[in-house]
Structure 1
């Protein structure tokens, strides 16, 4: 693996890449593959559908509080996704699969040319954490399952060889920031 012909990786970055390489050894394990497939619920469109289902369910049940929660979930998801996309469009980082399978690694400023150079930050983690944080605040009885699912979605990205640990951490921070912003702009609903 090389970044540039004579340029060693900084210690933190090297540790990040080595951790991802070690975890990637499990990428073909049935449990990792199954959890990875399930984590696709946190991709942009499926997660927007989840938010939309909460809104629709609130409308059908005539529960303004659920409609508001669904709208807050959608706002946090969209905000996290917009910021994530802006970062990905300005930072090129090879996905761990590129390191593991092709011994190719880059982490630099610049426009990503394809999905193999869009590792930073983890969008699945950002969206999952943003939505889970809203759910936890608005529906405290669902805080533990929502948070657990978000943690699992982020964590499985590493052995799947989709992201490095720091990509997942950055995605989590981005998701928390998006939820925090939504909390400041759109207050939590009053519960009946």
Structure 2
């Protein structure tokens, strides 16, 4: 049996197993929580990142600005990664598959119908990327940030938006995106430090700002 057939069989099995969970989307509390998870959609996540970055710059708090920058970059990388996969793989979302009575998973055709781009979970990718960025730069917020991302990921199943594998791959994308963002920001910081004139250290700069001539 070829890899494509194995993957398609695994996807069909997952669809059968997740059917009962996705049916919970009709329950009002689940529907309300599912709507709340839309906070992890792209516009809110980008807005949150920009507000954090802007606040750090306005208040002259480099640590906060760095957090906002890492959030923004991590989210952008996660969005790019999940978009490439969505364009490469077509998969019926659980709620659509339950309604139609059939499930499709296969090579992507680049269509714009969101009912067929279940794989991977973009909400999970974005939420994990931003949460990891916060956790890496503001350790005191790690538990709450990661808890929020976990809640967003878990809600994708009962709301019928994604399958477990969609969520898992989305989480991996988000984690890798943050790691890449952190590495890029660190590399940029090292480059800037090397570009400073000889003898110019952080302490000298701080002293100059405290006692301007």
Q: TM-score with structure 2 length normalisation? A: 0.81
Q: Tell me the equivalent position of 1:95.
A: 93
TM-fit CA distance, 1:8:
10
Please list every run of 5 or more consecutive structure 1 residues that lacks an aligned counterpart in the other structure: 1-6
Give the direction of change, closer, same or farther, for the CA distance of 1:18–1:181 in structure 2 (3 Å limit).
Answer: same
CA distance in 1, matches of 2:28, 2:56: 37
In the alignment, is residue 178 of structure 1 matched against residue 177 of structure 2? yes
CA distance in 2, matches of 1:53, 1:137: 18
Q: Tell me the equivalent position of 2:196.
A: none
Please list every run of 5 or more consecutive structure 2 residues that lacks an aligned counterpart in the other structure: 1-5, 190-213
Q: Tell me the equivalent position of 1:122.
A: 121
Q: Which has the higher helix share?
A: 2
CA distance in 2, matches of 1:69, 1:78: 14
Matches within 5 A, 1:135-146: 135-146=134-145
Q: Tell me the equivalent position of 1:133.
A: 132
TM-fit CA distance, 1:28:
1.6
Cα deviations by residue, 1:143-166 (Å, 9 ceiling, x for unpaired): 000000000001101100000010
Q: Tell me the equivalent position of 2:151.
A: 152
Contact in 1 for aligned 2:15/2:103 (Cα 8 Å): no
TM-fit CA distance, 1:116:
0.7
Contact in 2 for aligned 1:112/1:118 (Cα 8 Å): no
CA distance in 2, matches of 1:35, 1:69: 27
Q: Tell me the equivalent position of 2:20.
A: 22
The ranges of structure 1 where at least 4 consecutive aligned residues each deviate by more than 3 angstroms after the TM superposition are: none
Q: Tell me the equivalent position of 1:42.
A: 40
| 3-state SS of 1:124 partner | helix
CA distance in 2, matches of 1:14, 1:106: 8
Cα deviations by residue, 1:87-136 (Å, 9 ceiling, x for unpaired): 11111000001211111311101224211110000000000000101111
Give the direction of change, closer, same or farther, for the CA distance of 1:88–1:170 in structure 2 (3 Å limit).
Answer: same
Contact in 2 for aligned 1:19/1:164 (Cα 8 Å): no
| 3-state SS of 2:186 partner | coil
Greater relative CO, 1 or 2 (CA 8 Å, sep 6+): 1
CA distance in 1, matches of 2:7, 2:121: 24
**Correspondent of 1:111 among 79, 104, 109:** 109
Q: TM-score with structure 1 length normalisation? A: 0.89
